[in-house]
Chain A
Amino acid sequence: MSINLTLLIVMGVLYACGIYLILERSLTRVLLGLMLLANATNILILSTGGYAGLAPLFSKETAPEAYSDPLPQALILTSIVISFAVTAFMLGIIYRTWVLARQDEIQDDLEDVRVAKTPSFDAEDDAIVPLETSEFAVTPASPADRDKPDATETPNTATTREGGSA
């Protein structure tokens, strides 16, 4: 199989630009990156068919090597249609993001942020033993832990009760 150098270089440039763009935080650029990746892949499939030959219509005089390979082209057609649908859908999502948030940036996940901020100290699991052994159970066992700035934001530290493993 012979390789077409032009196709190869174009493909490489498209992949490079595409990968650069999908790493951006702006959705429109991500979409452009995905489109470049899809097209670079189409060129890759095209190049697997070798150089262009005759149209693949059978006639007895033509040698098999003279034909173009029709299969990569069929594959490319399918993948173009698929990437078209995905692009249209992404445009819809981008428009919706803009309507909702008036911005084109990818948002952080709130729950992720909350879990990441949860301190390792957990009132229910960690504070029980000192509470039970103390005669003066009114005061919290370890005030240093309780007064952490993060602790007030998280529900787990909000109460002290006994029987964490009820």
Chain B
Amino acid sequence: MNLANLSPLAVLLPILGAALAFLLIRHHSAQRVVSIGILSATLLLECLLLISVWDGGTTSVTLGGWLPPWGVVLVVDQFSSLMLVVSTVVSLAVLIYATGQGMADGDQEAPVSIFHPTYLILVAGVSNAFLTGDLFNLYVGFEILLTASYVLMTLGGTGPRIRAGVTYVVVSVVSSVLFLIAIAMIYGATGTITMADLAIKLAELDQGTQNLLHVMLLVAFGIKAAVFPLSFWLPDSYPTAPAPVTAVFAGLLTKVGVYAMVRTETLLFPGDTLNVPLMVVALLTMIVGILGALAQSDIKRLLSFTLVSHIGYMVFGLAMSSVAGLGAAVFYVAHHITVQTSLFLVTGLIERRGGSSSIDRLGGLAKLSPLLALLFFIPAMNLAGIPPFSGFLGKLGLLQAGVELGTPLAITLVVGGVVTSLLTLLAIARVWNRAFWRRPEDAEYPDPVLKTPGNVGVLPRTMVGSTAGLVVFGVALTVFAGPLFKVADGSAGIMLDRSAYIHSVLGDSVVVPPLVRRDDVQTGDAK
């Protein structure tokens, strides 16, 4: 179990890589080698971490010689290491895609010299947010990844990107300020910011104060995760960024928000005080998001709306606070990171091949580039939840958990989930019909590229290869769904039980406060 002592490297390696990439700022090929090499090493390390906790261990690493209630701890458990592995696989694929794009285009759109170090910092921030066991360190992790994302969002400084960047930066800063206010108030109320310690001390506060702190944290994370009333910044800001940047943002950044919400709900404020409002919010996120997607004609914007909509599924799983529901949510997060990113990568390829990402201008791509059609079709069906793909399995898990819970609200959510799934299929089918199936001449404003015969605008092999790799990884999540669901359910059990987490940080002698629940049911039926 000493392997967990290596976990700080998951954050440090990308930061070191970023420094190295900065030193090599004039040597683009060396930069590529360094950043891909560093990310591969990080991925290897994270796989080792996942293997070490595969059977349900929880280990913590104390940093800087300060013991847990005071210093910063990193905690490796099933959920955090699973998120680490999936996120790094996705970021590695996107990085290879981006280098392919940079080599093919020259680098006017996305200057490589800035891209690589910033990208590695982003990865470091994501890893830090997943690993940390300290609330303020979580804030720092968020800030690392957000600051890197500001730079990536506005790469090249073109008009639309700056406009989108302003929305994004202002909304993110406001959400960070809210998070910081919540941290300050939590510190004022309890005198600690170590999450394990908070789990004990928050329970001693009176219910009103607890609810206030709880809601403040959820609002701050809700903005980052793009949960319904707080989600309108996302479709405005994501689509204008370069394709690989949009892909990695869509895959990772909102999921870090979801991760933080899961930790808040399970570790800091367990029980079911806010489950009903969370369920309502989840339903609205699903429905409003997908209705927004149906109105779009730009594929990137459409996908951004489906991204918002599918966050609702994760919040639904979280709000059930049962092992089955939370386990399905964990699985769904892993599935959705992969699928959403692959779809954005494919959209980047569509834009290269068809000259546009608007479905009013595209047509006949299935004939022009069958490989592209295949690469789009698989993750698209996966997103819509068609059997046998992992999207179907994740949704099925959520729906089963919802039916098991059986309250009228949960049943409404189950129905809402099915409707959202069908509407996702409708939105995706619209893209498929228009961009892939109809003849180019039938498009409203066909792009001239579509009518030129032959291989115009050949797709670079690295870009297609990395996209295909990610699509295959998405399919692998389906094939290995059995073990994956076992880990997801295991992690859900550990998170809802809390004692393993708290004991691993504060030592075994600490008494874990009992859960307060309105109705004492549904704690451990999947064990």
**In the complex, which residue of chain A has the Cβ closest to the Cβ of B160?**
A110
A149 at the interface (CB under 8 A from B): no
B377 at the interface (CB under 8 A from A): no
B387 at the interface (CB under 8 A from A): no
Interface residues of B in 288-322 (CB under 8 A from A): 295-298, 301
> Contact: B444 with A71, CB < 8 Å?
no
> Contact: B184 with A96, CB < 8 Å?
no
The one of A100, A107, A155, A159 in contact with B297, judged by C-beta atoms closer than 8 angstroms, is A155
Once A41-B181, A82-B143 are accepted as A-B contacts, the answer to whether A90 and B169 lie under 8 Å apart by CB is yes
The smallest C-beta distance from B397 to any residue of chain A, in angstroms, reads: 32
Count of chain B residues near A, Cβ 8 A: 45
Across-interface contacts of B160 in A (CB, < 8 A): 110
> Contact: A101 with B298, CB < 8 Å?
no
Across-interface contacts of B28 in A (CB, < 8 A): none
> Contact: A27 with B296, CB < 8 Å?
no
A72 at the interface (CB under 8 A from B): yes
The smallest C-beta distance from B420 to any residue of chain A, in angstroms, reads: 20
> Contact: A1 with B360, CB < 8 Å?
no
The smallest C-beta distance from A152 to any residue of chain B, in angstroms, reads: 13
Choose among A41, A93, A101 the residue with the greatest number of B CB atoms under 10 Å from its CB.
Answer: A93
Once A48-B188, A109-B236, A166-B437 are accepted as A-B contacts, the answer to whether A22 and B170 lie under 8 Å apart by CB is yes
Once A82-B143, A93-B162 are accepted as A-B contacts, the answer to whether A166 and B438 lie under 8 Å apart by CB is yes
Instruction: State the CA gap A57–B297 with chains docked (Å).
Output: 63
> Contact: B296 with A38, CB < 8 Å?
no
> Contact: B166 with A97, CB < 8 Å?
yes
Instruction: State the CA gap A96–B444 with chains docked (Å).
Output: 35
Once A111-B298, A156-B444 are accepted as A-B contacts, the answer to whether A45 and B147 lie under 8 Å apart by CB is no
Across-interface contacts of B159 in A (CB, < 8 A): 100-101
> Contact: A78 with B140, CB < 8 Å?
yes
Interface residues of B in 416-448 (CB under 8 A from A): 433, 437-438, 442, 444-445
The smallest C-beta distance from A68 to any residue of chain B, in angstroms, reads: 14
Instruction: State the CA gap A22–B70 with chains docked (Å).
Output: 35
B136 at the interface (CB under 8 A from A): yes
Instruction: Give me 10 other A-B pairs in contact (C-beta within 8 A), A34-B170, A82-B143, A82-B147 excluded.
Output: A45-B184, A45-B187, A48-B185, A86-B173, A89-B147, A90-B169, A106-B167, A107-B163, A156-B360, A166-B433
Interface pairs A-B: 5 shortest CB-CB: A48-B188, A155-B444, A155-B360, A45-B184, A44-B184
Pairs across A and B, CB under 8 Å, 8 listed: A38-B173, A44-B184, A79-B180, A89-B147, A97-B163, A109-B164, A156-B297, A156-B444
